[in-house]
Structure 1
Amino acid sequence: MEKLIINVALIGNTTTRDKNPNPPMTPREIAESAIESYQAGAAVCHVHVRDPITQITSMNYELYREVFERIREKCDMVINLTTGTGGRLFWDPQTNVWDTSGLKSPEERVEHVVRLQPEICSLDISTLNMGNRAFVNLVPIVEKMAAMIRDAGVKPELEVFEPGDILFAKDLVRKGLVENPPLLQLCLGIPGGIGATLEDFNFMRSRLPENALWCAFGVGPAHFPIASAAIIAGGHARVGFEDNLYISKGVLATSNAQQVQKVVKLANMLDREVATASEARRILGVNKH
């Protein structure tokens, strides 16, 4: 069994400080949180950025560049930039009006990836019904993004939220838009997607391509149980404030690094060695640009 790659999701699109004051928000805070997580045992960091004044999710290239350069300057961490921002459609039931301001072109969604060339970037391939909003990733949009990511020499991490997404992932590989072996992230417990029970985890895992590299996370209370399942099953684990605000039931996490430390302890208890960043690059088949 390969060593365990721990991927820390520092701050997502929707996490706020309303329930937990500790998630990083500014470029400096996000980079420092990544570096602390690296020191705690994470080999990969998954990066979103926020407007430092409003704390609203942003696609500003300069914010990505600042976080990217701060991390590169201080540690050897594998960097995984999001491309999920720019795929959201909102419905206002009060006015019966669609808000399309959250929908961006494929070029806008991958601009920072093409320019900064991290080792990895996420590529969401699912369209989800999430209450008064939808996460929209139409096939032609995903295929165009995949081609641009491939041409930039970046490995996409295919985010799969339900079983049909895995079939789509296989199709992207068949078309040559994603190179073999593909890297898939099992996203469990997201509204509109599959649940986060052990049965859900095992079913999603059973549908993966035979040669796939894979990682998994569960949101909220499923966070550490799914990490444990991934450790046992030979996959890799994602933790962090994007997916979970707590370190244990009713106890708020103080940092992303604290969550990483808990996964390191779980791995040690389960006799699974934790990969360094250089080992993660070898396992994933990626290079630092």
Structure 2
Amino acid sequence: MNTTPIITCAITGAGDTADKNPAVPVTPKEIAESAIAARKAGAAVAHIHVRDPETGKPSRAPELYREVVEHIRESGSDVIINLTAGMGGDFVPDENEPNTGGAGSDMAGAEERIAHIRELKPEICTLDCGSMNYADAAYITTPDQLRTMAAGIAESGVKPEIEVFEMGHVWMAKQLIQEKLIAAPPLFQLCMGIPFCAPATPEAMLTLRNQLPEDAVWAGFGIGRNQFPFAAQALLMGGHMRVGLEDNLYLKKGVAADNVMLVQKAVQLADTLGATPATPDHAREILGLNQ
């Protein structure tokens, strides 16, 4: 069991959730303040997407990321900032022209996907390590795109959090590590229960965990009602924990949550199991961010 887990709070995500729970932060100020509050509640890392302030829909506008990061940094919070670099790979085939992206598509090149990472230089950013079916669409990131993104992330002095949604993504990550595009120790996030990727089962998480490099630092999460069962499983298997409104909108059945509530419940869960969550400075040591 991991007795000093890093708790990551995934603040808002890119899902169509802003109208389902009023606590989902939308504006840059709301997102930043939610990250700061999550840190005070016990999270060491804030994983951040941005949204269009007018519509609540997902965005990858650099100026929105800039506003969030500046607000957090100016606040003096010691939370570790983890920006997504996963936007720009959504492809929904047009019904009449299947080789053309239809409504809901958002495709961008590798450099465009990491432009805000190069500019803002967060301590961590995500690297979704492969293509996959994703609900009713496809997420596309080719091996060469991943090589370009990994190289750009490394050049920026940022640590990638390798998000894996199925077995092939671990294989791809190992290839990037072998090509020295990702430095040791690699950081992995095991993403469970996203349709139609790795299912949210103990066996699936164990299988993914067992394929990781020996020196890997890893965390795992499940979405929806699986958030806390898989936070517990990750902890018991030696990993770290992720909670937050990106992955789950409820504290328990019928009770809407906010990010502070979810982090507090993760802290309580860790305490019940005999673990003490890592502070941001301790998390930096674990992740090799001070090197």
State the TM bucket, normalised to the shorter chain: over 0.9
Q: Distance in 1 between matches of 2:254 and 2:209?
A: 29
Q: Which runs of 4+ in 1 moved over 2 A?
A: 91-98
Compute the RMSD of aligned alpha carbons.
1.6
Amino acid at match of 1:83: A
Aligned match of 2:92: 90
8 Å Cα contact 2:18/2:25 also seen in 1: no
Identity, in percent, stands at 48
Displacement after TM superposition at 1:15 (Å): 3.7
State the SS of the aligned residue for 1:91.
coil
Matched, 1:208 2:230: no
User: Structure 1, residues 244-265: CA drift from partner, whole Å, max 9, x if none?
Assistant: 1111122221x11110000000
> Which runs of 5 or more structure 1 residues have no equivalent in the other structure?
none
1:133 aligns with one of 127, 137, 140: 137
Return the match for 1:285 from 272, 285, 288: 288
Cα distance in 1, alignment partners of residues 184 and 99 from structure 2:
42
Is this contact kept in 1: 2:219–2:240, CA < 8 A?
Answer: yes
**Offset of residue 94 of structure 1:** 6.9
Which secondary structure does the structure 2 equivalent of 1:231 belong to? Answer: helix
1:266 to 266, 269, 275: 269
Shift of residue 97, structure 1, vs aligned partner? 6.8
Cross-structure match for 1:190: 194
Q: Whole-Å Cα distance in 1 between the matches of residues 261 and 214 of structure 2? A: 33
The match for 1:21 is 22
Superimposed CA distance per residue, residues 133-168 of structure 1 (whole angstroms, 9 cap, x where no aligned partner): 110011000110000001111000000001111111
Aligned to 1:3: 4
Q: Per the alignment, do residues 260 and 60 of structure 1 end up closer, same or farther by CA in structure 2, a change over 3 Å counting?
A: same
Which consecutive residues of structure 2, in runs of 5 or more, have no partner in the other structure? none
Structure 2 matches for 1:131-210, cutoff 5 A?
131-210=135-214
* Offset at residue 187 of structure 1 (A): 0.4
Q: Distance in 1 between matches of 2:253 and 2:94?
A: 34
* Structure 1 SS opposite 2:8: strand
What is the alpha-carbon distance in structure 1 between the residues aligned to residue 159 and residue 12 of structure 2? 21
* Residue 77 (structure 1) aligned to one of 79, 89, 110: 79
Shift of 1:2: 5.4
CA contact (8 A) 2:219 2:242 kept: yes
Counterpart for residue 59 of structure 1: 60
